[in-house]
Amino acid sequence: MNVIFPRFLKSSYRKEPLISLLITMGIVDALIGGLDDSWSLFTFGLVTAGISLGVKLWRIQQRRPLPEEEPVVQHYLPSRSSSPTLPMLTVTKKKPPHQ
């Protein structure tokens, strides 16, 4: 969890910095307002974070899906296994040395 959370925050801030900043500000305002018993700041923070999160989700839904590319087939061997370009392998038997 500790490794995934900073990566998620970094990628979120890189993709949409303004919306991520507004969400962070709203959460901080809500925390300060909740801990200080300042209900107006708490409400303002929740509204700010909620609207920003709604805009972010709306923008995600508006993105068009990328067209899927056809997979590239890789052939590791030539189409004809008996092609003349490949040399024939021969094994020569060696006699063991005499002692």
pLDDT bin (cut points 50, 70, 90) of residue 50 is very high
DSSP string computed for 55-79: HHHHHHHHSPPPPPPPPPP--SS-S
Residue (of 46, 54, 11) closest to 25 by Cα position: 46
Q: Which of 62, 63, 61, 48 is nearest to 18 (CA)?
A: 48
Tokens (6 digits) for 50: 């909620």
pLDDT > 70 in the chain, percent: 75
Which residues constitute the domain of residue 31? 11-62
- For the chain, the domain total comes to 1
In a domain, 3, yes or no: no
CB 41 within 8 A of CB 29: yes
Tell me if 96 is assigned to some domain: no
Q: Is 34 exposed, middle or buried (0-12, 13-18, 19+ CB in 10 A)?
A: middle
Residue 74 falls inside a structural domain: no
Q: What is the chain's mean pLDDT, rounded? A: 80
In a domain, 78, yes or no: no
Give the pLDDT of residue 48. Answer: 95
Looking at the domain assignment, is residue 81 inside a domain? no
